[in-house]
Structure 1
Amino acid sequence: MLGAWDAEPARADILIGQTTAVTGPVAASVGETLVGVNLYLNSVNARGGVNGEKIKLITLDDKFEPPLAGENAKRLIEQDNVVALFMSRATPHTQAILPLLAKNGIALVAPSTGAMVFHQPVNPLVFNVRSSYQAETEKAVEHLHTLGLNRIAMVHVDDSFGEDCLAGAMKGFNATKLQPVAVIKADRSKPDYAAIVPQLIKENAQAVLWIGSSVAVSDGVKALRKAGSAMQVVTVSNNASSGFAKQLGDAVRGVIVTQVFPSERAMGYSINREAAALAKADGSVTISPSVMEGFASAKVLVEGLRRAGPKPTREKVVAALSSMNHFDLGGLEVGYGPGDRTGLNFVDLSIIDAKGQFRR
């Protein structure tokens, strides 16, 4: 279990609950989002907290297992009495939490998944921050088409996350009047690269949109390169982490990753300047896309708590977030209202260079 603040004074007055994959195949990117969360929450607590109350984030490891995510959320709600849930990771894992929200009248803030099921139909207790996976995959296909790459394949994990990304990609294919040369499902735990890679090569794919965990996608890219294929690989923002780049090893150069936040080096955005200043003061934080997702998500959470007033309850937090029409994150505006829990609507693309840096 991880705490989000390490200051000594008194107890934490505001308890926030999180279930996420601290260990397992997405641990690298989860770890980076937590760095961003802690960077912001620590700064808030160092200034006295919110309305004079400290914030404590209780993080439980679900090991990237959906049933455990549900069990963790139940414990956080019923035993730890948290006032809100925050930044669950992945689609089926977050789906396991949904029944608990309505039963307990508790908000889920900034789920770290862009699945459309959390956008439509609108769940009044889910407050998204990041854009949707469908928007990412649709833009990815359209971008490949503009590059003249029209023989595009798709490999996706065989779960609700993968199906959601496929739905977005098909929008892109329809918009460009293309058809995928292959759509291949991959086991979430043990992708069969020995079958997947030869099929991609046989179909003469110029590019592949590969959807899965950072381990699954990085191993897939390495398997492609080992087979002598130079086809373009694109993946989505769940892999927008330095950890993913490291996992790619010698195969890192040229992999495209869609992004749901502006480049962390774009200092025209005040949120980036704020994070950079706090990282410099901390001395141990390196800013990455995943760090910025955690940082931005924590800002939305804190603003909701601030608007809920002293001694926030679950009901007050939901009401405060529901009426947050226009909140400037620092060059990016988040807003919620009746029938709208989308948060940001921002998608960009990056390419990883030979040094493992994300370039726009």
Structure 2
Amino acid sequence: MKTHVALPVSQRLSQARRRSLVLALAGGAALASLSARAQPAPGKGDILIGRSTALSGGMAPFLAPIHEGQDAAVEDANAKGGIGGRKIRLVTLDDGFDPRRTLENARQLSEKEGVLALLGVSGTSQVMALLPYLVQAKLPLISVYTGSPAIRAQQHPYLFTTRASYADELVKIVRNLVAVQTSRIAVAYENNDFGKLLLPLVEKTIAAEGATLAGSHAIAPTGADANDAAKALAAQKPQAVLLVAAGPPVVAYVRANRAHLGVPVYTLSLGAGSAVLKALGDDARGLAVARTGPSPTKPTIALTRDFQASMKRHDKPVDYDRYTGYMDARVLIEGLRAAGPGVTRASLVQAMEGLGNLDLGGYSYQFSPQNHHGSNYVDIAVVGSGGVYRQ
């Protein structure tokens, strides 16, 4: 996730959007070089779904619960007969959260393993690295763990998202702060592509919602300089801090904020998973998080009850991360069911676009040929005692 690019933030975001605009031109001649296994025979054997993710490195512990939720949903579907008698099998490769390895893995999964689709790629740089190849290979990607506006600049023919964008999350956070008379907001952002690309959007959202930017400060992806960031922001006298980071720097900054500011911290959905809460312990209390799905602990809808029962069967904890993975795999499974046992890459894309209003049991998505981004749902949850969220 680290970068040494020195271009201005606005120019990099513009370049990312331009790359998205020309994706449709990237396919064609290169597809002929794909191996025969890249187009598996329809209706035979297991349905192979590729998963390139961090099984090693700093982000691995933060993504592991999401994988467990995905695995549980797939195992549950297979126990009920799979897709017309065909089992779904996840083929997983470690990318160490490195965009270059993510692309290499996608090529291997597509051209050597013959997967039908990819599931749940994490990271803005990782997804951006994949987008041209998805067109070339005509390979669907269902669900990603980034809400970056760069991947939504124009609808991609093979990308389907299941979570609200960061823009949706930021609007919800800032409106919540303004509603409670907190209008002077500082920003602590991760010093990499993720944080730098989002900073202008954060600044724009704060201004649009009638709040004031008290100041901003970068944090190293390791979180090593979190105390310096907290001290610098304290000098600006903010009423709250909006934290744009994921993984280790979240833990470091929340603790530094307690030591040097003592004001509320709000963060994006991927910023406060179960591994972060476990690492923070009692220091997590009061952390406010944008959540892009319903509460996993309140069995008020059928989907949540299904999830809780699944976690009980698989002996896994009930939390937002596992619920995220579970829900996203359920969307993929519904797409496969709609395509039928003879599913191909092309028919899966068509089936996903034809899902329309997809209700998984009290929680709905909207997909169509004109809309590949299935949800814009955002809520704010606050961490209470024992690391348990309260709405």
Which residue of 2 is the match for residue 276 of structure 1? Answer: 308
Q: CA RMSD in A?
A: 1.8
Shift, 1:295, TM fit: 0.8
Moved more, 191-200 or 234-243: 191-200
Q: Is the 8 A contact 1:118 1:126 kept in 2?
A: no
Query: Which of 301, 318, 321 is 1:287 aligned to?
Result: 318
Q: Distance in 2 between matches of 1:134 and 1:61?
A: 29
TM-score of the pair, normalised by structure 2: 0.85
Q: Is the 8 A contact 2:250 2:272 kept in 1?
A: no
Which residue of 2 is the match for residue 142 of structure 1? Answer: 175
> Secondary structure of the residue that 1:351 maps to in structure 2?
strand
Which residue of 1 is the match for residue 85 of structure 2? Answer: 52
Which residue of 2 is the match for residue 239 of structure 1? Answer: 271
Query: Which of 341, 344, 359 is 1:310 aligned to?
Result: 341
Give 2:73's aligned amino acid.
Y
Q: 1:149-177 CA deviation, whole Å, 9 max, x = no partner?
A: 22211111234432454344334312332
- Note the 1:35-74 alignment, pairs <5 A: 35-74=68-107
> Are 1:342 and 2:381 an aligned pair?
no
- Note the 1:118-197 alignment, pairs <5 A: 118-189=151-222, 192-197=225-230
> Secondary structure of the residue that 2:341 maps to in structure 1?
coil
Q: Distance in 2 between matches of 1:353 and 1:40?
A: 28
Which residue of 2 is the match for residue 249 of structure 1? Answer: 281
Q: Is the 8 A contact 2:73 2:330 kept in 1?
A: yes
The verdict on how the C-alpha distance between 1:280 and 1:267 changes in structure 2, with shifts beyond 3 A counting, is same
The verdict on how the C-alpha distance between 1:292 and 1:164 changes in structure 2, with shifts beyond 3 A counting, is farther
Q: Distance in 1 between matches of 2:272 and 2:319?
A: 8
> Secondary structure of the residue that 2:298 maps to in structure 1?
coil
Q: Distance in 1 between matches of 2:327 and 2:388?
A: 20
Q: Is the 8 A contact 1:240 1:289 kept in 2?
A: no
Q: 1:81-105 CA deviation, whole Å, 9 max, x = no partner?
A: 1000110011111111111100000
Q: Is the 8 A contact 2:66 2:321 kept in 1?
A: yes
Q: Is the 8 A contact 1:37 1:297 kept in 2?
A: yes
The verdict on how the C-alpha distance between 1:240 and 1:222 changes in structure 2, with shifts beyond 3 A counting, is closer
Which residue of 1 is the match for residue 113 of structure 2? Answer: 80
Query: Which of 224, 227, 235 is 1:202 aligned to?
Result: 235
Which residue of 2 is the match for residue 267 of structure 1? Answer: 299
Q: Distance in 2 between matches of 1:13 and 1:287?
A: 29
Give 1:235's aligned amino acid.
T
Q: Distance in 1 between matches of 2:223 and 2:254?
A: 15
Which residue of 1 is the match for residue 387 of structure 2? Answer: 356
Which residue of 2 is the match for residue 6 of structure 1? Answer: none
Q: 1:97-124 CA deviation, whole Å, 9 max, x = no partner?
A: 1111000001000111111223331112
Shift, 1:79, TM fit: 1.2
Query: Which of 230, 243, 246 is 2:262 aligned to?
Result: 230
Q: 1:59-79 CA deviation, whole Å, 9 max, x = no partner?
A: 212112221111111111111
Off by >6 Å, runs of 4+ in structure 1: none
Q: Is the 8 A contact 1:137 1:166 kept in 2?
A: no
Shift, 1:22, TM fit: 2.3
Give 1:76's aligned amino acid.
L
> Are 1:95 and 2:128 an aligned pair?
yes
Give 1:307's aligned amino acid.
A
Which residue of 2 is the match for residue 8 of structure 1? Answer: none
Q: Is the 8 A contact 2:216 2:233 kept in 1?
A: no
Query: Which of 30, 37, 43 is 2:63 aligned to?
Result: 30
Identity in percent? 32
> Secondary structure of the residue that 2:251 maps to in structure 1?
helix
Moved more, 66-75 or 173-182: 173-182
Q: Distance in 2 between matches of 1:152 and 1:168?
A: 14
> Secondary structure of the residue that 1:181 maps to in structure 2?
strand
> Secondary structure of the residue that 1:344 maps to in structure 2?
coil
Give the unaligned 5+ runs of structure 2. 1-43
Shift, 1:240, TM fit: 3.9
The verdict on how the C-alpha distance between 1:172 and 1:79 changes in structure 2, with shifts beyond 3 A counting, is same
> Secondary structure of the residue that 2:145 maps to in structure 1?
coil
Q: Distance in 2 between matches of 1:336 and 1:321?
A: 7
TM-score of the pair, normalised by structure 1: 0.92
Give 2:156's aligned amino acid.
N
Q: 1:193-231 CA deviation, whole Å, 9 max, x = no partner?
A: 24312111111122111111221111111122233x311
Moved more, 153-162 or 298-307: 153-162
Give 2:263's aligned amino acid.
M
Give the unaligned 5+ runs of structure 1. 1-10
Q: Distance in 2 between matches of 1:289 and 1:359?
A: 12
Query: Which of 315, 328, 343 is 2:359 aligned to?
Result: 328
